[in-house]
Amino acid sequence: MKILIVEDDKRISKFLEIEFLREGYKVELAFEGKSALEKVKNNFFNIMLLDLMIPNISGEDLCKKIREESDIPIIVLTAKNSLISKIQLLDIGADDYITKPFEIEELFARIRVTLRNKSHYLTDGFETYGEISLKRDSKEITVRGKIVSLSKKEYNLIEYFFLNKEMVLSREKIVESVWGYDFEGNLSIVDACIKNMRKKLKLERPLISSIRGVGYIFKDNKK
């Protein structure tokens, strides 16, 4: 299990690092928003702890930016205790929050619950479905063992399908989850992206099927 701790107070960071190493986690630290964002973009983590009061990108803005590209579980460490601020944290994409000061046992319990709710993040980031294998830490896609070069948006789309395999997904839901809530283009961008991706993947049997009038489903019909 690999955890990213985003906390600018180095005393708190060190305390958390020691506790998580003791529990068998691999730990990476970030002390400000920009480096945290880069780490999430370029590495796979099972979960992220996020302090709100960090330099150059606020915790709230960082959470929003990460949610545009990743479904990584996020637990916010906050000194804010008002009901409205807690509601706002959930609205911007946090999975849970814990108010400082906190007991480390409570934090571990919240992590267990969060990971149960996003069970795909309990894995090491490697998953195979049909002919496609996805490796989240390197953002690598292979088909029958051969690496396929995808654009960033195409990778995000195939990862989204992996997270929602065998579910019918509307174009609206796909755009909202992959392109972001503020996307203002035409929904046909989904069809164009999938068409290009199919050409690159060169699957021997289709995994991404269109559902007339609705959207798409990612399903291996040979299973």
* pLDDT at residue 83 tops 60: no
pLDDT of residue 35: 94
Query: For 197-211, what is each residue's pLDDT tens digit?
Result: 999 999 988 899 999
| Mean pLDDT of the region 1-6 | 93
CATH of domain 126-218: 1.10.10.10
Q: Give the pLDDT confidence of 47-72 residue by residue, as tens digits.
A: 999 998 899 999 999 999 998 878 89
Average pLDDT of the segment spanning 164-193: 87
Going from N- to C-terminal start, the domains of the chain cover 2-122, 126-218
Q: Domain 2-122 belongs to what architecture?
A: 3-Layer(aba) Sandwich (3.40)
With a cut of 60, say whether residue 84 has pLDDT above it: no
Query: In whole numbers, what is the pLDDT of the chain averaged over residues?
Result: 88
Q: Which residues have a Cβ under 8 Å from the Cβ of 72 and sit 6 or more positions away?
A: 40, 45, 47, 48, 66, 121
Q: Where are the beta strands (DSSP E) in 32-107?
A: 47-51, 74-78, 96-99
Average pLDDT over residues 161-170: 89
DSSP E strands, the chain: 2-6, 26-30, 47-51, 74-78, 96-99, 126-129, 132-135, 140-143, 146-148, 168-170, 208-211, 215-218
Residue 119 is predicted with a pLDDT of 75
Tell me if 2-122 shares its fold with 126-218: no
pLDDT class of 217 with cuts at 50, 70, 90 = very high
Can you give the pTM of this predicted structure?
A: 0.64
Least confident of 33-47, 76-90, 111-125: 76-90
